[in-house]
Structure 1
Amino acid sequence: MRLRIVGAVALLVSAGVHLYLWFDGVRHQSVGPMFLVNVVAGVVIAVLLVRWEHWVPAFLTLGFGVATLGAFTIASTVGLLGVHTVWAGGSVWTAAIAEVVCIVVGAALLVQGRAALPGMAHPHSRHAA
């Protein structure tokens, strides 16, 4: 459960940064609506992650991190919908770190969940009958 809480906090941090940036002027850019989608998705996935012990919230956490960090990487290299940004500023690094945590936590939870499935244990860990 501790790993799920860490993931939920990371999701909320990323969502919070995107909400802050939306109010700080991103809402007037072409990517503004996507920032609000990011906020809502981050909050919803965070709630799912701590309330529903299933692989789906872990997968969504991983996907959220990959998609959000990927979108920023695109915006900072070739541009995204006419927006070009740079890897500078506290909000950028705060969100990027939170999104890396989402990726790591989501992947770790999926691996843990797979290991817990019947028949998915490592074959050398079985005891001889």
Structure 2
Amino acid sequence: MVSWVLRIVVAAALLGSAGVHYFLWTEDYPGIVGPLFLLDAIAGLVLAIAVLAWRHWLPALGAFGFGALTLGAYLLAATVGFAGNHDQFNSQPEYWGVITEAVCIVGGLALLFVKDRRRVSA
């Protein structure tokens, strides 16, 4: 039960981050940043499906890595700049992105350590 609730929370966070990045992609960011937003949107969707459909440690690790990498890239953009982009942390997409990616990190890490009570073939 706990595992399923955690999987749903992580999948929702992945979908939330994917939605934020899709929205940012539609805003026509210049250079490589725009395509990276689209890649994040697709990756978040694929990982959300994997977290719900595949009871294995790999999707949990993917959710953790996705959150860590996207949050890390955002922190670079908000401090020193990243790929010609410098953010200010002053908009709704930025707030929601940080929240959803933090949930991906914490939830993905928790999923790595929560054991399913049912036997699962790997």
- Structure-1-length-normalised TM-score: 0.84
Unpaired runs of at least 5, structure 2: 118-122
Q: Which has the larger radius of gyration?
A: 1
Q: Secondary structure at the match of 1:11?
A: helix
- Structure-2-length-normalised TM-score: 0.89
Q: Is this contact kept in 2: 1:65–1:102, CA < 8 A?
A: yes
Deviation at 1:30?
2.8
Give the corresponding residue for 1:86: 88
Deviation at 1:29?
3.4
Unpaired runs of at least 5, structure 1: 117-129
What whole-Å deviation, never above 9, does each CA across 1:37-73 have from its counterpart, x for those lacking one? 1011000000000000000000000000000000000
1:10 to 13, 23, 43: 13
- Say whether residues 1:25 and 2:28 are aligned partners: yes
Distance in 2, Cα, partners of 1:30 & 1:50: 31
Distance in 2, Cα, partners of 1:87 & 1:2: 30
Q: Is this contact kept in 1: 2:13–2:104, CA < 8 A?
A: yes
Deviation at 1:112?
1.5
- Percent of residue pairs identical: 46
Runs (4+) of structure 1 moved beyond 3 Å?
none
Deviation at 1:86?
1.1
- State the number of aligned residues: 114
* Residue identity opposite 1:46 in structure 2: A
**In angstroms, what is the RMSD of aligned CA positions?**
1.4
